[in-house]
Structure 1
Amino acid sequence: AQRALSSVFGLRQFRGWQRAAVNATLAGRDVFLVAPSGGGKSLCYQLPALVDDAAARQAVTLVVCPLVSLMQDQVSQLAARGMRAFALSAATPREEQTICYRAMAGESDKASAEQRDTRPMLVYVTPERLEKSKRVIGALQKAHSQGRLARIAVDEAHCLSAWGHDYRPDYLKLSKLRELYPNTPILAATATATPRVVKDSVNRLRMHGALVFRHSIDRREIAYAVVRKQADADEFASGLSAFIKTQASAGIVYACSQAETEGLAGKLQSRGVVAEAYHGGMSEHERNAAYMRWVTHKTQCVVATVAFGLGINKADVRWVVHATLSKALLAYYQESGRAGRDGKPARAILCYRPSDVARWSPLVMSSGQIDEECASALENLYSCARYARGGCRRAALLRHFNEADAIGRLCGGENCCDVCDKGTHKCAAAPACDSSLVADALAVIAEAAQGEKARPLTINMAADRLGRKATGKQLSKPARECLFVDLLLAGALRETFSATSFSINAYLGLSRAGGAAVREHAELAALARRVPCPSSFVASPTLTDLAAVTSKPGGSNGAQPACKKQRTLGGTVEAVPPPR
């Protein structure tokens, strides 16, 4: 393995955790890897394909991958290293598919024994093709019966879990792989998985006594920030364009919908930014052309939906801006992680407006009824909103991924986040909300649910009604909307959903904790201490402010302070009991 690491992959040594993961899969153990993007997860199933007795038995490594573009990229990289790899997709020429199927099945070709390719092989396939293609299953069955199916690798394994941010039902059908090939080791890998997602994914894959290698999700090279998003679209576009013009390198802007990517890209273009839209509604040729112009520095900015995600192979992205709230903190971490993959300083900026929560929550609901999957999607959305309204951004990410014990070591100081005081290395906490304001906000919701004309309120309607009360009159409408969202995030309010023929509508109601705060002063006081003052949101900087600071003499001009700590890829390993 060490020789192959050097001669094929050009690496002098393993990262701390890679050797253990490679040894475990070579020993026939099931392995689950959680490591940041660019952390070297793919090496842990590519390298084993070359060692042990793989060459002697022409071993097959099956790699399940969610995107054809990502499969093709990895196959090209492996071919450049002299390795034998195939991507089975509609884009693969028929002749190449035939060669792959015959090799998987161990069937001889017309070449002489001297000319025959007997190298071990990696075969990449999407979960959809694996489910629908009898030819793929037939070839795998033959390889398995001949003892040549060395291992199965499942990339982006968080797609298995309903608790993840990118749940895909087709991934659930991968559970049959254990039934079909009971003694073949499985290696699953992802960059984004909480302990709950890992446990769920391990069970769904029926992994036996899996060794889980966890590595810190901390991306020390990324400085995190949240800015206030202006309500006016033109004002926001002007601020965004001003920020981009201060950056000397390429970046990504994530938007909510296809229409938004087109609209925002057009606004940026009219303001002198070389920008292009990228979304799933474009043809494959259009998407590939836009991607290549961006990769080759002909376009500075891609305005994209989350379709512009997996498979991006550009290490020098210096900034990622989310023009709207992401649907989950897991998703935000992964999308913002497109920046700084070369290990050099980068920026990740979330543009937050409280009304985005009201906009997103009906979209993440699949019906008007809350089942386990919908409740998970809703909590994922709230986690991202809490990140925007909480303290240290890096600390919020570490807590979300169950790494709270690393907060004291990794948070604060240069290149941490916009909240941390770089002089004292301490986090600046937002002031708490006034209890009388909280009481009036809860009263608005309680009053709407009483009497014969009881009618639930949306966040927008609740903000209008609070504006009629003495405490609410002192606040702008964005601040009042922020208060109701903060009460929702604090657990004092809950959202209920009503489905119509055309849409799903979200309404606010009191939770049990909110009801207790209405009745008891002590509960109200405790709640008020947990809710940040909404004025802190209104006073927070916008992209326009950030651009002005960056462009001043002594500003960063797109460069960030040098990281004092290098990104670490140490981690822990644990054994997971077999699924029940």
Structure 2
Amino acid sequence: MDKLHQTLMRYFGHGTFKSGQEDIIRSVLHQKDTVAMLPTGGGKSLCYQIPGYMTDGLVLIISPLLSLMEDQVERMKMRGEKRVAALNSTLTFQERRHIIRHLPSYKFLFVAPEALMSEMLLEQLKSMRIGLFVVDEAHCISEWGHDFRPEYSKLGEWREALGHPVALALTATATKQTLKDTVQTLRLQQPDFHIHSVNRPNIALVKEVHETKEAKEKRAIELVDFLQGPGIIYCPTRQMTEELALYMKQKTNQRVEFYHGGMDAGDRMLIQQQFISDQLDLICCTSAFGMGIDKANIRFVIHMSPPQSIEAFMQEIGRAGRDGKNSVSILLYTEEDAEIQQHLIQADGFDDPEIDFYLAQLTQMQINDEKKLRERLMETGLQETRARMLTHYYMMHESEQRPAILKNLKEKLQDRQTEKLRKVWQFKERIMDHNCFRQSLLSYFHEQIDQTERASSDDCCSSCGLNLSDYEKKEQSLELNEMKHWKTVLDRMFHLTKEAQH
């Protein structure tokens, strides 16, 4: 057994790697900038943890969501790794300062991209050896991608400030344009590419057309009663998550909660943990629920309408079947769904008076601190995501004269809206197509279905005659009851033993 496999066995207890992992890790160990696309559940975190254990220096992991990094840190600590921390907005100033002052004692540091704007952190990192610069969810780099994070656009600049450490960019879904943007933004030098299929053969794909929203809701009730869980239902609006969760509680015997970005952070974390620990059967949520949800046994994902892009859809259905077992994705749609998404995109845009108003707010401050400028816009009532986008585009042109800034802002915002609308209609075309739904989706990523794989599978998609009865709810087995029984007995024994000790 070579050193790489010894490390895998020592820290993770596995004798073999998942598909693609070993090649990615060897590329990083050979000091090559690396871009890797592995499907959801493909084990991306192992690709930076193993090199971390085998090389000197800090592993710096840039992660876009609090839930994502908190989940990773918690799992590493449960495995016995104590040299790991996360820097994000949930920490107090004293907690952040403590971590920064003690950075040399850490091996793995997770940071939100905006945390790198801190001079205190950046100066401390400059004084250390950065063994690996990891960008998780790297598709957030592309402004044309489905999940753009403006702060990601500065990662190349920050990487250079840290001495140009070896970079590893990881994602589950990316088009050729997104991969190109990743290389340019991170300023990668002749990177190795390890691009694996976005296809998840163990997830069957179903699409159903319905006449009305009410018909879709009725069908969702039928599916939840019928399908083996646990499951996720994605909704296009926050209001719908709450209404549908209440409807599900009334009409089914499922343990259901809703989740969206407008909720208190503590409530979101509680619901997420309840779902992961099998205290909930079903989550009705917006796209805010997903990244970092490492729950292996999700059996179905239902979409109450198509998301705004194929990339987002593939990312979201990838929550299912991470254990490799058969799972199903069901897309419910009406002819009007694309128009609803179009309306949401247009409502999220800016009209000319709004741009004039917010530009005046930005120019009056006469500073180039992006965080402070964004906070100023949010003080006027602008929603955070829109404030991030507007501030980002402003900072790209802030050295120009006001008329030029105004012109460029309007052009950038219009181009972004046009691109988002184009993706909505691209998705609709594939939904309305009567050919194989899986192949239609894969073609967007310039992929073809493996014909040997198709020939050996009866679980492709509804266009290919999929039978949903294979995913029907199963009766609880005697073995499972017995397992629960013995667990209860052991818990009681442990409790009695503790009492006897006191």
Measured against the shorter chain, the TM-score band is 0.7 to 0.9
The aligned residue for residue 389 of structure 2 is none
* Cα shift readout 1:200-240 (whole Å, capped 9, x = no counterpart): 1111111111111011221111000101133152x432221
Residues 131-189 of structure 1: per-residue CA shift (max 9 Å, x gap): 2x22211111111xxxx111110000001102211111111121212331343111100
1:37 matched to 2:37: no
**Runs of 5+ unmatched residues, structure 1:** 107-116, 423-545, 560-580
Deviation track 1:497-528 (CA, whole Å, cap 9, x = no partner) reads: xxxxxxxxxxxxxxxxxxxxxxxxxxxxxxxx
Ranges in structure 2 where 5+ consecutive residues have no aligned partner:
352-410, 475-502
2:422 aligned with 1:419: no
User: Of the candidates 423, 426, 430, which is equivalent to residue 383 of structure 1?
Assistant: 426
- Specify the SS of the correspondent of 1:70: helix
Supply the distance in 2 between the matched residues of 1:44 and 1:556 (Cα, whole angstroms).
32
Query: Which of 547, 557, 561 is the aligned partner of 2:472?
Result: 557
My pick for the range that moved more, 35-44 or 374-383, is 374-383
Kindly indicate which of the two structures has a greater share of residues assigned to helix: 2
User: Which residue of the other structure, out of 424, 436, 458, is the alignment partner of 1:392?
Assistant: 436
Identify the range of structure 1 (81-90 vs 304-313) with the bigger mean alpha-carbon deviation: 81-90
Kindly state the Cα deviation for residue 309 of structure 1 after the two structures are TM-superposed: 1.0
Q: Aligned match of 1:237 in 212, 217, 233?
A: 217
**Which residue of structure 2 aligns with residue 323 of structure 1?**
304
Distance 1:17 1:127 in 2: 27
Partner of 2:84: 85
1:349 equivalent in structure 2: 330
Given the alignment of the two structures, is residue 141 of structure 1 paired with residue 126 of structure 2, yes or no?
Answer: yes
Correspondence for 1:408 among 427, 440, 451: 451
The answer (yes or no) to whether the contact 2:216–2:332 under 8 Å persists in 1 is no
Q: Which amino acid aligns with 2:89?
A: A
Give the direction of change, closer, same or farther, for the CA distance of 1:401–1:61 in structure 2 (3 Å limit): same
1:362 pairs, out of 338, 343, 350, with: 343
Q: Distance in 1 between matches of 2:458 and 2:290?
A: 28
CA distance in 1, matches of 2:70, 2:350: 36
CA distance in 2, matches of 1:76, 1:289: 14
On the 8 A contact 1:293/1:299 being kept in 2, the answer is yes
Q: For 1:107-122, what aligned pairs fall within 5 Å after superposition?
A: 121-122=107-108
* 1:558, distance to aligned residue in structure 2 (A): 3.8
- CA deviations over 1:325-358 (Å, ceiling 9, x no partner): 1110100001011111110000001111121111
Retained in 2: the 8 A contact 1:276–1:302?
Answer: yes
CA deviations 1:288-337 (Å, max 9, x no partner) are: 22223333333321110001110112110000000011110100001011
Structure 1 contact 65–155 (Cα < 8 Å) conserved: yes
Query: Which residue of the partner structure matches residue 252 of structure 1?
Result: 232
The code of the aligned residue for 2:114 comes to E
Deviations 1:105-136 (A, max 9, x none): x4xxxxxxxxxx5xx611100012222x2221
1:300 aligns with 2:299: no
Letter in 1 for 2:282: C
Cα distance, 1:386 vs. partner?
2.2
> Which amino acid in the other structure matches residue 71 of structure 2?
D
* Pair 1:9 & 2:9 matched: no
Give the conservation status (yes or no) of the 8 Å contact 1:165–1:380.
no
Distance in structure 2 (CA, Å) of the matches to 1:6 and 1:286: 37
Q: State how many pairs are aligned.
A: 405
**Which has more radius of gyration?**
1
1:377 maps to amino acid: K
By how many angstroms is 1:32 displaced?
0.5
Question: Which of the numbers 114, 122, 128 marks the counterpart of 1:128?
Answer: 114
Over the matched positions of the two proteins, sequence identity in percent amounts to: 31
CA contact (8 A) 1:65 1:126 kept: yes
2:91 is equivalent to residue 102 of structure 1: no
Closer, same or farther: CA 312–188 of 1 in aligned 2, 3 Å: same
Q: Give yes or no for contact 1:154–1:187 (8 Å, CA) kept in 2.
A: yes
Give the counterpart letter for 1:185 in structure 2. Answer: V
Paired residue for 1:209? 190
Rounded to whole Å, the distance in 1 between the matches of 2:7 and 2:270 is 35
3-state SS of paired residue (1:48): helix
- TM-score, normalisation: structure 1: 0.66
Whole-Å separation in 2 of the counterparts to 1:15 and 1:288? 29
TM-score by length of 2: 0.76
Cα shift at 1:367: 4.6
Deviations, residues 344-391 of structure 1 (Å, cap 9, x unaligned): 000001111121111111322435778432232122212321231122
- Residue-by-residue CA offset, 1:25-84 (whole Å, 9 max, x unaligned): 1222110110101112111111111113x2xxxx21110001112111111222233331
Contact 1:317 1:346 survives alignment (8 Å): yes
